[in-house]
Amino acid sequence: MKVLMFGWEFPPHILGGLGTASYGLTKGMSLQQDMEITFVIPNPFGDEDASFLRIIGANQVPVVWKDLDHSYVISRVANADEYFHLRNGIRYDFGRIWTNDLGCVDFSGRYPDNLIEEIYNYEAVASVIANSVSFDVIHSHDWVAYPAGIFAKNISGKPLVIHVHATDYDRSRGNVNPDVYRIEKAGMDAANHIITVSNLTRQTVIEKYNINPDKITTVHNAVEPLDFVDELHKTERSDRVVAFLGRITMQKGPEYFVEVAEKVLKYTKGVRFIMAGSGDMMNEMIRLVAQKGIADKFHFTGFLKGRQVYELLTQSDVYMMPSVSEPFGISPLEAMQCGTPSIISKQSGCAEILNHAIKTDYWDIYTMADYIHAIAKYPAMYNALRKNGLEEINNIKWECAGQKVREIYDKLIMNN
């Protein structure tokens, strides 16, 4: 089974859950002996783990023909032979696109102001790869990669699976960007099958995008085992730490975290709150903390990545995810993996599979505050949530998610 995947992020260079999920799923799928995955990302840095798949950087795929010497190409790209092989896959005139001396597009690999332009340049790269690489099925991760998948499908005739990690309804609290919606809708209509990360997201796709339910399958996310978990140890101290980790943006409900902090600190001593991450609401949250007079008990760390994330989660006594609309939410699983009890919103996809996390409505700040008080003050409750959470999380594996995806592939190929 050969799979051509289009994504946008891949660890260790990630900006959110998309990269984490892409890595976990592909690694879980790779455990199947006959699975060969080619994963395309806009701008790899070279330190990605390519031990279980093949990574192609879109920024090293020529979309405009350039007559270049082999020696010059060797000095400019990691794999000159691959460059020339891919160059033979150019079938269209992409002279409208600005390219560098290699005829390649310099992708940012992030989410810049000209993101829509990068998405359609990525589509051009997909056309070259589709004419150069052997594959049985196409798999596009999230809306930024849908146009690339569609173009590859149109060229090859191979079935297309799109993976909905989130919709713009989640990211915008319903204030949908029409350009993003159009791309999402086109991807869903063109796909032979749609994978959603939760039943919550599946329902959004059905109701907001008018997609036939028979075309959609939920495959819940999982969590990657930590090879350094034995090295993580909580520091003994008298105070308790409550953590928020994620993009500080309206989808994640950071203002509710601040509101809860204010309520807890009114009647509970020895508790500190940490907001880790970055986003467009960070300055607003800093001002809100100051206005509420809790700045001496509230800390902002900025963006954390890699091992820093797990060190924070390990040192925390409670992890809180008050997301307003969370398609899945891997961070509570990571927290529970570190032995940290989690409080999550009922409006999150992970609430569908977690039995040993505390679930409340995202707006119910009084209930969340009561739970934090109880976990901080009653060791028996903390220890029970810690123990049961660890046992539960060890059974939520990417390998199982990968097997479900494989079953979808098999059916599509059989009917194609």
What CATH number was assigned to the domain covering residues 2-222+398-415? 3.40.50.2000
The pLDDT of residue 256: 98
Considering only CA atoms, which of 256, 380, 268 is closest in space to residue 320?
A: 256
Which residue spans of the chain are classified as CATH 3.40.50.2000? 2-222+398-415, 229-393
Is residue 62 over pLDDT 90? yes
CATH 3.40.50.2000 fits domain 229-393: yes
The pLDDT of residue 358: 97
The pTM score is: 0.93
Percent of the chain residues past pLDDT 90, beyond the cut: 89
The pLDDT of residue 9: 94
Is residue 402 over pLDDT 90? yes
The pLDDT of residue 237: 87
Under the banding of pLDDT at 50, 70 and 90, the label for residue 174 is confident
Under the banding of pLDDT at 50, 70 and 90, the label for residue 290 is very high
> pLDDT, tens digit, for every residue of 120-134?
999 999 999 999 999
| Mean pLDDT of all residues belonging to the chain | 95
The pLDDT of residue 232: 87
pLDDT mean over 167-196? 94
> pLDDT, tens digit, for every residue of 199-252?
999 999 999 999 999 999 999 999 988 888 888 888 888 899 999 999 999 999
The pLDDT of residue 353: 97
Is residue 377 over pLDDT 80? yes
> pLDDT, tens digit, for every residue of 94-153?
999 999 999 999 999 899 999 999 999 999 999 999 999 999 999 999 999 999 999 999
> pLDDT, tens digit, for every residue of 314-350?
999 999 999 999 999 999 999 999 999 999 999 999 9
The pLDDT of residue 187: 98
The pLDDT of residue 175: 87
Under the banding of pLDDT at 50, 70 and 90, the label for residue 160 is very high
The pLDDT of residue 109: 87
The pLDDT of residue 173: 76
